[in-house]
């Protein structure tokens, strides 16, 4: 089997874990490939012992059976962009604190690779959000796993985002910005702005205002079959839009709409893992200093 490794910012103290990962993959006869970004990281750390092939383009990527993301949730979000419509299953190896997406700890590398090699895992299908516009944006990578965001730039005044659901007027949000989130993204930026937590398998999108001027404005959950059209108005000439961690500036003339993407992200879920376990750990549910 062929496995692709992807990482963005490998710290020196985690290079030993990468070596263990290579050893475990070699033990189970995986053919090891790395993305160009991760190849640069390995060479930066003076790698002279690890043997692998470098993936060059979508044709090489299409031959992969799995991808392992090495880093945090941000690295896994970038791995989703690397895979795109190929829908290659992704396993998140977390080299930092526990993540909502990258859930395998470095101490569990041996166990995780054994389960991967023996098909002892499940695939979680996570919906993606797609951005549509008459302009080409984000170099054609117009999808995201977490959220699409409109935001004011710098210290400019608030903006108004006129919002329509399937062509029907919903609201004009007078705020610092607006988030359209997938269920996966409900634990990210949307949550910090007061949005609801949504189970990953839910068939919904969440519209969450960022610092709204009117306090009676609240997040709303809509079906992920909906198309959400957005028109931006404000004093500034430019506004910031983002798909997960990728951002660009646009003018108010650009018409935008978001809807569910036609393909999905496939995340590898190992035995004994559940989304609710991660919620409890990340949010300290059930924790009481009196006990």
Distances (CA, A) of 265 to 82, 102, 231: 11, 13, 28
CB-CB contact of 162 with 282 (8 Å) = no
- Mean per-residue pLDDT for 90-106? 87
- Mean per-residue pLDDT for 198-207? 96
Q: What pLDDT does residue 45 have?
A: 83
CB-CB contact of 15 with 67 (8 Å) = no
Query: Counting Cβ atoms within 10 Å, is residue 190 exposed (0-12), middle (13-18) or buried (19+)?
Result: buried
Residue 83 has pLDDT above 70, yes or no: yes
Among 25-29, 145-149, 238-242, 278-282, the minimum mean pLDDT is found in 278-282
Tell me which H or E stretch contains 4: strand 2-6
Residue 160 has pLDDT above 70, yes or no: yes
Q: Which phi and psi (to 5°) does residue 232 adopt?
A: -105, 140
d(CA 160, CA 156): 12
Nearest to 259 by CA among 229, 290, 239: 229
* Catalytic annotation, residues: 73
- Mean per-residue pLDDT for 129-133? 96
- Mean per-residue pLDDT for 76-88? 96
Residue 275 has pLDDT above 70, yes or no: yes
Q: What pLDDT does residue 138 have?
A: 94
- Mean per-residue pLDDT for 248-263? 94
Q: What pLDDT does residue 289 have?
A: 62
Q: What pLDDT does residue 288 have?
A: 67
Percent pLDDT > 90 in the chain is 76
Residue 241 has pLDDT above 90, yes or no: yes
Q: What pLDDT does residue 123 have?
A: 96
CB-CB contact of 79 with 69 (8 Å) = yes
d(CA 275, CA 124): 11
Q: What pLDDT does residue 180 have?
A: 98
Distances (CA, A) of 97 to 100, 103, 115: 10, 9, 22
- Mean per-residue pLDDT for 191-218? 95
């Amino acid at each position: 089997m062929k496995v692709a490794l992807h990482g963005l910012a490998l710290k020196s103290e985690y290079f030993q874990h990468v070596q263990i990962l290579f050893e475990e993959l070699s033990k189970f006869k995986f053919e090891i490939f790395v993305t160009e970004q991760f190849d640069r990281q390995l060479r930066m750390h003076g790698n002279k012992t690890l043997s692998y092939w470098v993936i060059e383009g979508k044709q090489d990527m299409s031959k992969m059976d799995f991808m392992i993301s090495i880093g945090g949730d941000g690295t896994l979000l970038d791995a989703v962009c690397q895979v795109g419509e190929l829908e290659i299953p992704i396993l998140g190896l977390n080299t930092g604190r526990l993540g909502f997406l990258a859930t395998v700890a470095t101490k569990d590398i041996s166990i995780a690779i054994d389960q991967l090699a023996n098909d002892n895992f499940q695939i979680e299908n996570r919906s993606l959000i797609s951005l549509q516009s008459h302009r080409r944006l984000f170099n054609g990578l117009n999808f995201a796993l977490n959220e699409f965001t409109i935001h004011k730039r710098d210290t400019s005044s608030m903006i108004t985002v006129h919002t329509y659901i399937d062509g029907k007027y919903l609201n004009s949000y007078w705020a610092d910005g607006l988030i359209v989130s997938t269920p996966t993204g409900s634990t990210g930026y949307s949550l910090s702005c007061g949005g609801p937590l949504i189970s990953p398998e839910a068939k919904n999108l969440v519209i969450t205002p960022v610092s709204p001027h009117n306090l009676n404005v609240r997040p709303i959950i809509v079906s992920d079959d909906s198309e959400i059209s957005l028109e931006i108005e404000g004093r500034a000439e430019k506004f910031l839009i983002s798909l997960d961690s990728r951002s660009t500036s646009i003018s108010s003339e650009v018409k935008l709409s978001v809807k569910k993407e036609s393909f999905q992200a496939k995340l590898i879920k190992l035995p004994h893992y559940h989304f609710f376990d991660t919620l409890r750990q990340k949010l300290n549910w059930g924790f009481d200093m009196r006990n």
